């Protein structure tokens, strides 16, 4: 029987090569499983029992980890157990481990007037303001993650077609689209910037982009915290509120599971209340 350490190594290689998981994800799984093995002090996979997992979860909870982080540890363990089952190695059935119920996530949402003020905030004609305007319009038009935006090269953008491919989480490629306003802001920026084809489109760090957005949010008089991820939320909710279906939004955001995208429906549900109020039971008045 292979040692647990060897099985873990083979599992991590399987994640990277066969499942195509990002190196960062594999490193996280390695860390989570290392924690479990250090706690469990077991010799063989068959020693992983429901009782052991229950004690481990208690240990994670008492280590003052927040619920999502606890769940990440449990997800890694479940994935490992599924891998063992796939190899017909006797251990605990992964289905016997349930994830902790999390409270519904709260999203920071910008209302449309805040969003318009933010996008209009870079007013100067300086190279920096022109660049910043292009970044803000790009975020709202495409729903890109900050890491995706920072990795874009000049020659990857097709302004004529108003679309381009982006490599997202797990190396998955998806197509994103530019609105007329984003195209115009980007064309203006590229005209002033110049540069060679394989150069970074926006040679900035994620941290400096976050600071830039914060600066314009304050200038626009927005009191809530505005980040690149808040602009990604704005992109998704704007599509749903204007009638896009959930599956299309999932593809445009690059979500692996539709359940991740469903969080946005809670916010468009507010519209349903208005629809109900306007149209339900009118004949009874």
- What are the tens digits of pLDDT across the range 168-210? 887 889 999 999 999 999 999 999 887 777 899 999 999 999 9
Asked if 122 and 133 touch (Cβ cutoff 8 Å), the reply is yes
Which of 90-104, 115-129, 238-252 is least confident?
90-104
- pLDDT of 61 reads 93
Mean pLDDT of the chain: 89
> In the numeric block, which tokens belong to residue 86?
């796939």
* Positive/negative CA dihedral, 16, 166, 252, 233: positive
User: Given pLDDT bands bounded at 50, 70 and 90, which one contains residue 283?
Assistant: low
| Range among 77-81, 106-110, 190-194 rated most confident | 77-81
- pLDDT of 258 reads 87
- pLDDT of 275 reads 67
- pLDDT of 196 reads 76
Residues 6+ apart with CB under 8 A from 148: 166, 167, 168
Domains of the chain plus CATH, in order, are: 4-96 (1.10.150.130), 112-272 (1.10.443.10)
pLDDT in tens, 38-70: 999 998 999 999 999 999 999 999 998 888 899
Residues designated catalytic: 145, 169, 229, 232, 255, 264
Half-sphere exposure of 127 (CA within 13 A, CB side): 6
The 10 Å Cβ neighbour count of residue 182 is: 24
102 has pLDDT over 70: no
Which comes out higher in pLDDT, residue 134 or 256? Answer: 134
Asked if 228 and 149 touch (Cβ cutoff 8 Å), the reply is yes
pLDDT in tens, 139-164: 999 999 999 999 999 999 999 999 99
- pLDDT of 90 reads 94
Residues 6+ apart with CB under 8 A from 56: 36, 39, 40, 77
Which of 29-33, 36-40, 267-271, 277-281 is least confident?
267-271
Q: Kindly state the percentage of the chain with pLDDT values over 90.
A: 69
Which comes out higher in pLDDT, residue 227 or 198? Answer: 227
- pLDDT of 274 reads 67
3 has pLDDT over 70: yes
């Amino acid at each position: 029987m292979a040692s647990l350490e060897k099985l873990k190594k083979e599992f991590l290689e399987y994640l990277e090569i066969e499942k195509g998981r990002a190196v960062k994800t594999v490193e996280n799984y390695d860390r989570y499983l290392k924690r479990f093995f250090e706690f469990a002090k077991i010799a063989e996979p068959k020693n992983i029992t429901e009782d052991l997992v229950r004690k481990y979860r208690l240990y994670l909870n008492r280590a003052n980890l927040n619920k999502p982080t606890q769940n990440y540890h449990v997800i890694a363990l479940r994935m490992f157990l599924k891998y063992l089952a796939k190899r017909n190695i006797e251990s605990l059935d992964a289905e016997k481990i349930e994830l902790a119920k999390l409270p519904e996530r709260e999203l920071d949402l910008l209302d449309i007037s805040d969003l318009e003020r933010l996008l209009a905030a870079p007013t100067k004609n300086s190279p920096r303001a022109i660049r910043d305007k292009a970044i803000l319009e790009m975020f709202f038009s495409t729903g890109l993650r900050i890491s995706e935006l920072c990795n874009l090269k000049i020659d990857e953008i097709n302004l004529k077609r108003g679309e381009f491919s982006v490599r997202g989480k797990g190396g998955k490629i998806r197509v994103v689209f530019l609105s007329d306003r984003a195209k115009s802001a980007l064309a203006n920026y590229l005209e002033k910037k110049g540069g060679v084809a394989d150069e970074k489109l926006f040679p900035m760090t994620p941290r400096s982009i976050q600071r830039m957005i914060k600066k314009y949010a304050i200038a626009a008089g927005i009191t809530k915290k505005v980040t690149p991820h808040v602009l990604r939320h704005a992109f998704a909710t704007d599509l749903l509120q204007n009638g896009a279906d959930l599956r299309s939004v999932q593809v445009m955001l690059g979500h692996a599971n539709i359940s991740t995208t469903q969080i946005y429906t809670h916010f468009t549900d507010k519209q349903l209340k208005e629809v109900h109020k306007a149209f339900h039971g009118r004949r009874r008045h």
